[in-house]
Structure 1
Amino acid sequence: MQERAAWLAWAQISGIGPVSLQRLQEHFGSLTRAWTAPLDELGSVNGIGPTVLKAIAAQRPQLDPDAFLSHHLRANPTFWTPADPDYPRLLKEIPDPPAVLYYRGNPALLDAQGHTPVVAIVGTRDPSDYAQRWTRKLAVVLAKNDIAVISGMAEGIDTQAHLGCLEAKGQTIAVLGTGTDIAYPPRNRALHQQILERGLAISEYPAGTQPNRAHFPRRNRMIAALSRATLVMEAPQRSGALITAYMANDYGRDVYVLPGTLDNPRAAGCLGLMTKGAQLILGEGHLLELLGTIPTLDPIPVKSPGIPVAAKVEMPALSADLQKVWTLVQSLYEGSGQTALSFDRLVQDAAQPANEVSSALLQLELMGLVTQLPGMRYAVAM
């Protein structure tokens, strides 16, 4: 609970964004420890300059993380932070995961480990009849094949994607640029309600947050990260859907496009993506074939009780500092009866600075001796 409160509190500090939070967490080992760190040590973290330090100095004394968490829960009872075990694994893999991910609806639709297949469908807010028809058809076929559809609940292609999925009684996820309680655009109020009842709405913005132009490009990164593939149905040369496609490509996801005609300016962005390697969708069956070639995610390994580590891992030579942490991990692991150990427990028992323990754990992980699990927990590798 302390680490969850720390993520939430740090997210309120001006100038501290997702990238800075990642750096703070890596430097101190936990944001709880970073919260009590002196300003000069905070200033040694890359990206924390004088302006941000001034904001921290002014705002941190006014925030009590635990009290703020209790107050925040009244208006926002359901959210995840990277400290929570249900925080999506796929978001943790991008450089700037949301510090707080609010949700309403059925959270089970967003598999924390990323094993449930999710496909993004994006495109222009002003699509042709052809693009609308094919968006609906593909959303239906994905839903009928137990593939969740994720989109941004905008007008046009997004709306058709959600409706097609709901029509087929499938699973749909809406990533919003507002609070999860806000229906935007207003004409999608009924769709918003359906998604809350039968799907899932997520956002990095708290309840009551109204539309803001800057929010929508930011939400596109989450659509790209949470999907195993992105379908761009129709998009002009300047389109938010292209931002999603480029981000998906950066994250190592597949990008597919619906072929359009040369005389349709709404399809110009899709044609451009084709020249950059995006694959063509040639029909419903063809799409399913393409999706069938996407490799599954590797499971996060957890040591099975009773299996000796020596039988699975050839021990490399360790320095004295690494040997101390490794011995501690083994002794705690074998004596606790648990499958994983919290970072805070390891720091406490090691009686070393958090950054030194974090560095040692990272090196042990690279050697194949330790595995990091969601929620800052560590297990002996199999």
Structure 2
Amino acid sequence: MANERAYWLAWSRLKGVGPVLQKRIYEHFGSLAIAWSAAAEALQQVDGLGPALVGSIVRQRSHLNPEALLATHEEQSPAFWTPTDLGYPALLLAIPDPPPLLYYRGRPELMAALEVGVGVGIVGTRNPSDYGRRWTRRLTCNLVKNGVIIVSGLAEGVDREAHLSTLETGGNTIAVLGTGVDVAYPWSNRALYDRIEQEGLLVSEYPNGTPPDRPHFPRRNRIIAGLSRAVLVTEAPLRSGALITARLANDYGREVYALPGSLDNARCLGCLGLINEGAHLVLEDETLLKGLGTLPATNGPASVLGPISLPAPDPALDPLLQQVLQAVTLEPVKVDHLAQQVPIPPGSLLGALVQLELLGLVVQLPGTQYRRC
């Protein structure tokens, strides 16, 4: 049997095939190994693959041996997940362009903890005021004390305060990098990078040795948003990359929170703009905890009610979501059982379950189980 991981790696090496197209190819064929050997005519059936790109793919793949590529890659690079691996975060499968490869260093069990717990992304300016630093630390510590996992980008400023406050409070943090996971950037955060590698988790879609590059950081922001149930912006000017993270989170159906500040402080204008656009206003330490309590529960008790007729799925739902929702009952059901009932690729099933959870239609329980709300 072909090693699917080898083909995720090989497809990611083809020029012209980004995360969106790779996801479409996988969903169309159900296997990237099958897609790798597909004829040009079959590849052209995938939305976005025209004759010119398909011709390029056919030429490029003739020079690649996926299995040999994987063997070399595993010798030279850190550990990584693909969307078909159990360790790959299901929350990321729900976004339009999940990274085909997610490299990691540190404690991979934190990603599993994120799946059954609550992760909050905390982002903001690289040059915060004393007010921004103080409130970032204060809000972070309050979340950590209540079991929230903090996700951020290991940049200077707000990111640094969020990661450091989490570790100093004894909590768990995940840093999403715009470089390879073996590259500490900025260098001023080297000690923090080392500490997160020991106590937290470093992740990146870029292979070992990838240096910092400006386009990488907006791309990195979609992963921060994708891993988070909610995103908090504590201080950001109008052109801050943190606003990209917030708007992506909103696009993904995640909650967005913003800390207000003075109109006289340019570093606060981005947050005020988010609030004006509908972000939740943070006025006290408990604002986020109260809001998180309204998110779909991740560890609720099993139903103790007798048999109840489940309502039919909303016809406005995507057909795939309707199919998955129909298979989930009021009693806890394991993902393995759902996979037998709904014959779709594992990655698509997990992605659908995350979307249904975010819509408040299903609840995830310990032991990779789900039930209807």
Within 5 A, what are the aligned runs for 1:353-364? none
- CA deviations 1:139-175 (Å, max 9, x no partner) are 1122221111000001110011001001101101000
- Cα gap change, 1:229/1:4 in structure 2, threshold over 3 Å: closer, same or farther? same
Equivalent in the alignment of 1:235 = 236
- CA deviations 1:219-266 (Å, max 9, x no partner) are 101111111111100111111000000011111111111110111111
Equivalent in the alignment of 1:330 = none
Q: Tell me how far apart the structure 2 counterparts of residues 56 and 288 of structure 1 sit (CA, whole Å).
A: 48
CA contact (8 A) 1:179 1:210 kept: yes
Within 5 A, what are the aligned runs for 1:187-206? 187-206=188-207
Equivalent in the alignment of 1:39 = 40
Q: Which amino acid aligns with 1:68?
A: L
Equivalent in the alignment of 1:73 = 74
Q: Which amino acid aligns with 2:219?
A: R
CA contact (8 A) 1:14 1:52 kept: no
Equivalent in the alignment of 1:284 = 285
Equivalent in the alignment of 2:264 = 263
Equivalent in the alignment of 1:116 = 117
- CA deviations 1:72-96 (Å, max 9, x no partner) are 0012241000110111000001111
Q: Tell me how far apart the structure 2 counterparts of residues 221 and 14 of structure 1 sit (CA, whole Å).
A: 21
Task: Give the match's secondary structure for 1:284.
Answer: coil
Task: Give the match's secondary structure for 2:62.
Answer: helix
Runs of 4+ in structure 1 deviating by more than 4 angstroms, as ranges, are 338-343
Task: Note the C-alpha offset of 1:287.
Answer: 2.8
- Cα gap change, 1:73/1:15 in structure 2, threshold over 3 Å: closer, same or farther? same
Task: Note the C-alpha offset of 1:4.
Answer: 1.3
Task: Note the C-alpha offset of 1:197.
Answer: 0.5
Within 5 A, what are the aligned runs for 1:1-382? 2-111=3-112, 114-297=115-298, 339=336
Task: Note the C-alpha offset of 1:114.
Answer: 2.0
Task: Note the C-alpha offset of 1:291.
Answer: 2.1
CA contact (8 A) 1:120 1:151 kept: yes
CA contact (8 A) 1:117 1:147 kept: yes
CA contact (8 A) 2:117 2:298 kept: no
Q: Tell me how far apart the structure 2 counterparts of residues 13 and 298 of structure 1 sit (CA, whole Å).
A: 41
- CA deviations 1:260-288 (Å, max 9, x no partner) are 01111111111111111111111213332
Equivalent in the alignment of 2:319 = none
- Cα gap change, 1:253/1:43 in structure 2, threshold over 3 Å: closer, same or farther? same
CA contact (8 A) 2:78 2:104 kept: no
Q: Tell me how far apart the structure 2 counterparts of residues 340 and 292 of structure 1 sit (CA, whole Å).
A: 29
CA contact (8 A) 1:25 1:31 kept: yes
- Cα gap change, 1:249/1:297 in structure 2, threshold over 3 Å: closer, same or farther? farther
Q: Count residues with an aligned counterpart.
A: 321
Q: Tell me how far apart the structure 1 counterparts of residues 113 and 297 of structure 2 sit (CA, whole Å).
A: 14
Equivalent in the alignment of 1:335 = none
CA contact (8 A) 1:261 1:267 kept: yes
Task: Give the match's secondary structure for 1:114.
Answer: helix
Work out which of the two has the higher radius of gyration on C-alpha atoms and give 1 or 2.
Answer: 1
CA contact (8 A) 1:124 1:241 kept: yes
Task: Give the match's secondary structure for 1:46.
Answer: coil
- CA deviations 1:282-303 (Å, max 9, x no partner) are 121333222222222599x9xx
Percent identity of the aligned residues? 54
Task: Note the C-alpha offset of 1:44.
Answer: 2.3
TM-score, length-normalised on structure 2? 0.80
Q: Tell me how far apart the structure 1 counterparts of residues 198 and 299 of structure 2 sit (CA, whole Å).
A: 32
Q: Tell me how far apart the structure 1 counterparts of residues 338 and 278 of structure 2 sit (CA, whole Å).
A: 43
Task: Note the C-alpha offset of 1:340.
Answer: 5.5
CA contact (8 A) 2:114 2:149 kept: no
Q: Which amino acid aligns with 1:90?
A: L
- CA deviations 1:87-118 (Å, max 9, x no partner) are 10000011111100000000111127722111
Q: Tell me how far apart the structure 1 counterparts of residues 70 and 338 of structure 2 sit (CA, whole Å).
A: 24
CA contact (8 A) 1:101 1:202 kept: yes
Q: Tell me how far apart the structure 2 counterparts of residues 190 and 236 of structure 1 sit (CA, whole Å).
A: 27
- Cα gap change, 1:121/1:342 in structure 2, threshold over 3 Å: closer, same or farther? closer
CA contact (8 A) 1:115 1:296 kept: no
Q: Which amino acid aligns with 1:223?
A: I
Q: Tell me how far apart the structure 2 counterparts of residues 21 and 149 of structure 1 sit (CA, whole Å).
A: 29
Gaps of 5+ in 1: 302-310, 314-337, 348-356, 367-378
Equivalent in the alignment of 2:365 = none
